């Protein structure tokens, strides 16, 4: 029987008593590595109680001291860099280089939190009225929680946890049940960093566990990252229970290529965007909008380059594209490919039925390209979350912008051009939260806010950067008068 992953509550590793579990399977080798318990409402309650108890003291711990624990944590992340990266590969299926990039991004989020002592300052105006001074102070709110997806099991929880606790809150993470192992390793390092009991807690589980988090009266705010369908449920439920909430949802990202773009460099970038992490990034390029004369040379160059990508096990250093996360994801993606064929798109490269020597049962989908895609087709509208690129040919820049803006999603969009006017018009007019100019994956660094628009984001303050200070603190205003 596979080992059940443990929860970490109030400074102790505890086994959940849950009856139902999710298997944790290496998507390349199909090895059953562990099972994730669907922790019960009582177990969420115990974590929330512990986090609340810890908050009462933690908020009084000087902010510079709070941040020092994060310095220890960062050192431990660096010392365990390779093991963390390998764990991500084993449970998620991406390549080792992609996993290293993920761990590095996680470390950068810890580095951002080092700045909290200067970022959470308030402001003051003397003599706002005769003899009266007014001050706005930032205070932590209490217990916060994250509900996170499978595709960046290490990085996404670290978008939130370090800043939340540096601001004086305490924290609960509920990772994806498919990829719980990276967080267990991270929590071992958090424990080693010396944080007091109850400041950080890990509760594994499924939708039921997440519901208990959203409904818990002691939890003040929730950061969700995942699909739009679930995100809407989370947004509504958290609002009903009076919580702060930020929901980073699904995506359908468009990449526009102008005739004046540098073709060779653009193709390399587009390839990384569409097929990096096997297309399982919320910033993955999914629709390639070829403008005017660039269409034929671009299509041919993309096809040639994509066909050469070496698909395989992420731990093999030769591998350029790993697996998708599960057999279920593979079936869903292959179903979308069939839908593209049925709806009349022309398939230029078909990634179905890829077999990798030594990994015959692995969940591999090869790079796939559709041509002659129209905006009404499912493959142009729905998030596929796999290595599938759809090519559309449009006559001009205006049609490209209109096509992109007609999408229900607005996570990211990129333009490839050498023309400053088009670049400026694009960033000004395209309705997406993250814009790339000659960049295929417009990922905000930890010091910048990260979030989409339209159905890709619900809430007010984005994740990361200055927005996260806003999310994890509340302004209190003090109006003062002193008599002689």
Question: Which positions are annotated as active-site residues?
Answer: 282
Does position 226 bind ligand NAD by CB under 6 A? yes
Q: Where are the beta strands (DSSP E) in 325-376?
A: 346-349, 368-371
Does position 26 bind ligand NAD by CB under 6 A? no
How many Å apart are CA 114 and CA 128, to the nearest integer? 33
Could you say which residues in the range 259-318 bind ligand NAD, by CB under 6 A? 282
Residue closer to ligand NAD by CB (options 101, 259) is 101
The residue from 27, 37, 93, 149 that contacts ligand NAD (CB under 6 A) is 149
Count of alpha carbons within 13 Å of 25, Cβ hemisphere only? Answer: 17
> Is residue 381 classed as helix, strand or coil in its secondary structure?
helix
How many Å apart are CA 323 and CA 341, to the nearest integer? 22
Does position 411 bind ligand NAD by CB under 6 A? yes
Does position 147 bind ligand NAD by CB under 6 A? yes
Minimum CB separation of residue 380 from ligand NAD in Å reads 16
Does position 210 bind ligand NAD by CB under 6 A? yes
Does position 193 bind ligand NAD by CB under 6 A? no
- 466 in Cβ contact with 119 (< 8 Å): yes
How many Å apart are CA 399 and CA 405, to the nearest integer? 10
Buried b (16+ CB within 10 A) or exposed e, 428-440: eebebbbbbeebb
- 280 in Cβ contact with 250 (< 8 Å): no
Does position 409 bind ligand NAD by CB under 6 A? no
Tell me the residue length of the chain: 484
**Cα 348 from chain centroid (whole Å):** 30
Interface with ligand NAD: number of residues (CB under 6 A) = 29
C-alpha triplet 121, 127, 132: angle, nearest 5°:
90
Does position 248 bind ligand NAD by CB under 6 A? yes
Minimum CB separation of residue 342 from ligand NAD in Å reads 23
> Of 96-104, 114-122, 221-229, 346-354, which segment contacts ligand NAD by CB under 6 A?
221-229
Residue closer to ligand NAD by CB (options 24, 294) is 24
The residue from 9, 225, 321, 354 that contacts ligand NAD (CB under 6 A) is 225
Does position 125 bind ligand NAD by CB under 6 A? no
How many Å apart are CA 146 and CA 157, to the nearest integer? 7
Does position 234 bind ligand NAD by CB under 6 A? yes
- Residues 6 or more apart in contact with residue 252 via CB below 8 angstroms: 286, 287, 380, 381, 382, 383, 407, 408, 409, 411
Radius of gyration of the chain (CA): 23
Minimum CB separation of residue 206 from ligand NAD in Å reads 5
Minimum CB separation of residue 123 from ligand NAD in Å reads 30
Could you say which residues in the range 434-473 bind ligand NAD, by CB under 6 A? 452, 456
Does position 230 bind ligand NAD by CB under 6 A? yes
> Of 72-80, 142-150, 289-297, 337-345, which segment contacts ligand NAD by CB under 6 A?
142-150
Residue closer to ligand NAD by CB (options 6, 174) is 174
- Residues 6 or more apart in contact with residue 406 via CB below 8 angstroms: 375
List of residues contacting ligand NAD (CB under 6 A): 147-152, 174, 176-177, 206-207, 210-211, 225-227, 230, 233-234, 248-251, 282, 383, 385, 411, 452, 456
């Amino acid at each position: 029987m596979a080992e059940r992953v443990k929860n970490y509550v109030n400074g102790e590793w505890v086994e959940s008593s849950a009856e139902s579990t999710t298997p944790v399977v290496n998507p390349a080798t199909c090895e059953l590595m562990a099972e994730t318990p669907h922790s019960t409402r009582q177990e969420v309650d115990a974590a929330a109680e512990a986090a609340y108890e810890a908050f009462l003291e933690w908020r009084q711990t000087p902010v510079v001291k709070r941040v020092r624990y994060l310095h220890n944590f960062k050192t431990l992340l660096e010392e365990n860099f390779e093991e963390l990266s390998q764990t991500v590969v084993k449970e998620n299926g991406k390549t080792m280089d992609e996993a290293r990039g993920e761990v590095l991004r996680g470390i950068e989020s810890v580095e951002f939190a080092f700045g909290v002592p200067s970022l959470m300052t308030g402001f003051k105006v003397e003599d706002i009225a005769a003899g009266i001074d007014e001050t706005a102070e930032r205070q932590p709110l209490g217990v916060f929680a994250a509900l996170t997806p499978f595709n960046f099991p290490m990085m996404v929880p670290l978008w939130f946890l370090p800043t939340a606790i540096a601001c004086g809150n305490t924290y609960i993470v509920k990772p994806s049940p498919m990829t719980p192992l990276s967080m267990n390793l991270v929590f071992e390092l958090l424990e080693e960093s010396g944080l007091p009991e109850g400041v950080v807690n890990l509760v594994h589980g499924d939708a039921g566990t997440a519901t208990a988090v959203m409904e818990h009266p002691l939890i003040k705010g929730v950061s969700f990252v995942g699909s739009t369908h679930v995100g809407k449920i989370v947004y509504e439920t958290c609002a009903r229970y009076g919580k702060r909430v930020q929901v980073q949802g699904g995506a359908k990202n468009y990449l526009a290529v102008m005739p004046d773009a540098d073709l060779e460099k653009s193709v390399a970038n587009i390839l990384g965007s569409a097929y990096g992490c096997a297309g399982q990034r919320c910033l993955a390029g999914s629709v390639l909008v070829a403008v005017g004369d660039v269409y034929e040379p671009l299509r041919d160059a993309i096809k040639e380059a994509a066909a050469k990508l070496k698909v395989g096990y992420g731990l093999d250093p030769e591998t350029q594209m790993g697996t998708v996360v599960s057999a279920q994801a593979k079936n869903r993606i292959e179903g979308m490919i069939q839908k593209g064929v049925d709806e009349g798109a022309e398939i230029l490269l078909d990634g179905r039925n890829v077999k990798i020597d030594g990994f015959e049962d692995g969940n591999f989908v090869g790079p796939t390209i559709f041509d002659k895609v129209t905006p009404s087709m499912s493959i142009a509208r729905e998030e596929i979350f796999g290595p599938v690129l759809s090519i559309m040919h449009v006559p001009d820049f205006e049609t490209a912008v209109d096509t992109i803006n007609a999408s229900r999603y607005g996570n990211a969009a990129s333009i490839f051009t050498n023309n400053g006017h088009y670049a400026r018009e694009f960033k000004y007019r395209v309705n997406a939260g993250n814009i790339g100019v000659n960049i295929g994956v417009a990922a905000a660094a930890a010091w910048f806010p990260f979030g989409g628009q339209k159905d890709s984001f619900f809430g007010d303050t984005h994740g990361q950067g200055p927005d996260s200070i806003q999310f994890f603190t509340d302004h209190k205003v003090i109006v003062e008068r002193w008599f002689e």
